[in-house]
Amino acid sequence: MFIFILKRIGIAIPTLLVLIVFSFVIMKSAPGGPFTSERPLPAQVLLNLEIKYGLDKPYHEQLINYVVDIVTKFDFGPSFRYKDRSVNDIIAQGFPITLTYGIWSFVLAVSVGVSLGIVAAIKHNSWIDYTAVGFSISAQVLPNFVMAPILVIIFTLTLGWLPGGGWNGGQWQYLVMPVIALSTSYMASIARITRSSMLEVLNSNFIRTAKAKGLSNTQIIFKHALKPALLPVITYLGPAFVGMITGSVVIDMYFSTGGIGQMFVSSALNRDYSVIMGITILMGFLTIMFNLVVDILYAWIDPKIRY
Amino acid sequence: MSIFEVKGLSVNFTTINGEVKAVNNVSFNIAKGETVAIVGESGSGKSQTVLAALGLLAENGHATGSVKFEGQELLGLEIKNLNKIRGNKISMVFQDPMTSLNPFLRISDQMVEVLTLHKGMNKKAATAEAIRMLDAVRLPDASQVITRFPHELSGGMRQRVMIAIALSCEPQILIADEPTTALDVTVQAQMLELFKGLTKDFGTSLILITHDLGVVAGIADRMMVMYAGKMVEKGNVDETFYSPKNPYTFGLLHSTPHIDDPEKRLEPIDGLPPSLENLPSGCAFHPRCAYSMERCLIEEPKLIVEKNGRSNACFYKGKLGDKESSE
């Protein structure tokens, strides 16, 4: 197990390198640069700027310098757009925000999604089941850019209960709507996956054995059915968790939370190379880490899986 | 004195193509300590008969009629009360030991839960008892095996575990649904010996569901033959093997190889078992039967009790086996 984890971390490093090179190449091949604007800068100013940020050097040298700075100094470079701010600063400012409402969204999506899926499977073909299926389909087809304004119309404009946006240090009033808007579609997917996998497990031979033993429904579900039914859900949860804690552009923009998703988009529009790279690497790193966590959870749940 | 009475049991399944009658008006009794075999081809309704009795039908199935255990009606019994009987007084061993144990739980967990539930034992006592049961089913290294997961055991070992679980509460009735089908031949023989010995030691009645007539001859006292959801012949094993009354039973026996007459050609029953969704008129066996008469196309033969407690559902009263030799 320990060796397995080490190996996986070992593979993660070249994977991240490939990610860096790939996003670097794509970024450089896009036209324009961080200092392109409607009113062209004088050639000398542009050259000075490029020298300052090292953009005058050949591409491969820029790339190597970038990677060396990360490895030796954990320095992701300065932002090209916001003077005096480094990428580290920008991520340190935006990521905690996204992380906060992301984790809440995750907790909400998992707890409601899993319970809904289980109940729907147990009461298969009952009104509860149909309601759950109906909810998850509608929640899934409702994109968050529709969901967010609807929430604002209800809770801010009509009822006046919640502020329409902002962050304010993450007070709960500011959290409610971003969390709901972000979690619903995940919740719906989790409910759907849980329901179908639970149904499959409940029809399996070993559940019939459990029934033939005279075990109560509660014992059957929690002792015999839950673990196998949750395996496919866990597969989904790894990437879903990363998706939630790295935020959603729509949520950040709509509720002006100041999260990392917003920065990602604006840096892409501004050609703020180092910020794009920094956030990409962060997301890549988290994805790799949580896939590893999923694999470890797998081994913990399924005795047939041993690394 | 019979402890298990099935009367007019029918099982229907609701499918997209309409109602399917998997078991049609089946009745039988089991006496204490007796071993009874239910024989039939796949889809003849033999498994569904016993699953219905224990409330283990699939979601779309429902049973009508009556199943009484020690005088208590099991059909429609509240699940709470049914759970006091199943696994305790009536237990079941399933066909496929590979999938019938929970792959996510240790053998100990799966054995102990029955004993704590029905016998009120604490975990320690239950574990000791579980090890004793594994010894009783002649699993070597029982105290080791109990800590394993199902995937770490062979098919034969798993089936022994299943049997140990089923017997751990010393049930009055053990139902074994094709317990040897998934096992190889040498293990099959060991399992049958095991069943024989255990039913004797524990005084358990055994209902054995099988399509293997060799198994029936080996351990059963009585046999019941099912075809297309109906009981077509009942009787004690020796007499039924020696002189089958129903053409279907006759066909089954003659399509089985005999070790003392290896030169003899096997005579398979022509055709295939009918689809339950589209049963032939009259006697369901008539399209495949060498003795069918005009009457068989119109009328359904009833199971009629004959002498020596044997029953048969067939209009043909002549001697079986003559037709083939004359042709």
- CATH number of the domain residue B218 falls in: 3.40.50.300
Per-residue pLDDT tens, chain B, 327 aa: give them: 789 999 999 999 998 888 888 999 999 999 998 999 999 888 888 999 999 999 999 888 999 999 999 999 999 899 999 999 999 999 999 988 889 999 999 999 999 999 999 999 999 999 999 999 898 888 889 999 999 999 999 988 998 899 899 988 989 999 999 888 777 788 778 888 888 887 888 889 999 998 888 888 888 999 999 999 999 999 999 888 888 889 899 888 888 777 777 777 777 888 888 888 888 888 888 888 888 888 888 888 888 888 777 888 888 887 777 554 433
What separation in angstroms does the CA of B7 have from each of B29, B68, B228?
Answer: 8, 8, 18
- Say whether both B146 and B55 belong to one domain: no
Q: How far is B41 from A246, CA to CA, in rounded Å?
A: 59
The residue range of the domain holding B257 is 2-89+173-326
Say if residues B5 and B26 touch (Cβ distance below 8 Å): no
B100 at the A interface (CB within 8 A)? yes
Residue A304 contacts B, CB cutoff 8 Å: yes
H or E segment to which residue B217 belongs: helix B213-219
**Claim to verify: residue B14 and residue B43 sit in the same structural domain:** yes
Q: How far is A235 from chain B (nearest CA, A)?
A: 17
CATH hierarchy code of domain A99-267: 1.10.3720.10
Please give the Cα distance from A222 to A269 (Å, whole number).
Answer: 50
Pairing relation of β-strands B173-177 and B205-210? parallel
Among A213, A226, A297, the strongest candidate for a mutation testing the B interface, having the largest count of B CBs within 10 A, is A213
Residue B275: partners with Cβ closer than 8 Å, 6 or more residues away: none
- The residues in A 117-136 lying below 8 A from B, measured between CB atoms, are 124-125
> What is the ipTM score, two decimals?
0.87
B141 and B19 inside one domain: no
Considering only alpha carbons, which residue of chain A is nearest residue B85? A214
**pLDDT reported for residue A170:** 75
The per-residue pLDDT for B161 is 93
For residue B56, give the nearest of A206, A212, A302 by CB distance.
A212
Interface test with A, best of B56, B102, B158 (most A CBs within 10 A): B102
Same structural domain, B224 and B255: yes
For residue B27, the SS3 value is strand
Residue ending a domain, among B153, B168, B183, is: B168
**Of B65, B63, B107, B70, whose CA–CA distance to B85 is shortest?**
B70
Stretch A31-57: mean pLDDT, rounded?
Answer: 79
B97 touches chain A (CB under 8 A): no
The reply to whether A204 touches chain B by the CB within 8 Å rule is yes
Which whole number is the average pLDDT over A214-232?
93
Average pLDDT over residues A203-216: 94
Q: Do B219 and B308 belong to one domain? A: yes
User: DSSP letter at B236?
Assistant: E
> Is B95 a domain residue?
no
Whether residue B312 is found in the same domain as residue B177? yes
Size of interface A-B (CB pairs under 8 A): 81
A212 contact residues in B (CB cutoff 8 A): 54, 56, 86-87, 91-92, 94
Tell me, yes or no, whether B37 and B75 share the same domain: yes
Strand pairing category for B230-236 and B304-305 = unpaired
B205 and B79 housed in the same domain: yes
Torsion, CA B69, CA B164, CA A222, CA B96, rounded to 10: -90
Residues B72 and B188 in one domain: yes
| Number of Cβ within a 10 Å radius of residue B128 | 14
Domain C-terminal end among B140, B168, B196 = B168
Q: Report the domain count for chain B.
A: 2
Report the residue of chain A nearest B165, measured CA to CA.
A213
Q: What is the pLDDT of residue B326?
A: 35
Contacting residues for A83 by C-beta, under 8 A, at least 6 apart: none
Identify any residues that bridge with B64 across adjacent strands, giving them in sequence order. Answer: B10
**Any chain B CB within 8 A of the CB of A205?**
yes
Look at A48 and B47; give whichever has higher pLDDT. B47
Q: Token pair 């959870």 is at which residue? A: A297
Percent of chain A with pLDDT over 90: 27
- Quick one: pLDDT at residue A129? 92
Q: Both B179 and B54 in a single domain?
A: yes
pTM: 0.83
Mutate which of B69, B100, B174 to test chain A, going by most A C-beta atoms within 10 A? B100
Per residue in A140-183, pLDDT (tens digit) is: 888 888 888 898 899 888 888 888 788 877 788 888 898 999 99
Bridge partners of residue B4, in order along the sequence: B30, B69
Q: Say if residue A225's pLDDT is above 90.
A: yes
The Cα of A265 is separated from the nearest Cα of chain B by a number of Å equal to: 45
- End residue of a domain, out of B168, B191, B212: B168
| B306 and B275 fall within a common domain | yes
Q: What angle do CA B320, B323, B327 make, to 5 degrees?
A: 160
Are B57 and B164 part of one and the same domain? no
